[in-house]
Amino acid sequence: MSRYVLDTSAYSNFMRGHPQATSLIDSADWIGMTAIVLGELDVGFLLGNPSRLESNRQILRDFVDNPVVEFVGLDRETSQIYAEILVALRKAGKKIPSNDIWIAAAAARLGVNVLTYDQHFGSIQRIGALVLTPAIS
């Protein structure tokens, strides 16, 4: 059974047709999308080509509307896990973007892996992370 909370990099590479991301996401039993990832994607859409804004947003809406995809909200338990992860990282002297810690906290609360291309997720002891290899250009 494959269940993942997606990081922004996984969704982006899936949309670019990267084979690893495409295979894993297409065959997943369940995919979680957090408000954090949706926000990061919308920032990218807003900063990108204005003529693609509505198209990108519609493609994302269609993706999120897939029955396998579930919106993952942030609640009190997730915020406590976020704090615990952040404190553990600080004590270990590791800096990870705050948004990625939120994504990790959501995955930890649900007991699922993060699907990502970002190596720093491997530094978070509390979660499993499936870190994919970027395509060589």
Give 99-133 pLDDT, tens digit per residue.
999 999 999 999 999 999 999 999 999 899 999 99
Q: What average pLDDT score do residues 39-66 get?
A: 97
* pLDDT value of position 134: 80
Instruction: Say what angle helices 53-64 and 35-47 make with each other, to 10 degrees.
Output: 160
pLDDT per residue as tens digits for the range 78-100: 999 999 999 999 999 999 999 99
Does the pLDDT value for residue 136 go beyond 80?
A: no
Distance (Å, rounded) from C-alpha 84 to C-alpha 21? 29
Q: Which amino acid is at 54?
A: E
User: Hey, what are 107's tokens?
Assistant: 């995955």
Distance (Å, rounded) from C-alpha 24 to C-alpha 45? 24
User: Hey, what are 110's tokens?
Assistant: 């649900």
Top CATH class, 3-131: alpha beta
**DSSP-derived secondary structure for 4-73:** EEEPHHHHHHHHTT-HHHHHHHHT-SEEEEEHHHHHHHHHHHHHS-GGGHHHHHHHHHHHHTSTTEEEE-
**DSSP-derived secondary structure for 16-34:** TT-HHHHHHHHT-SEEEEE
The pTM assigned to this predicted structure is 0.93
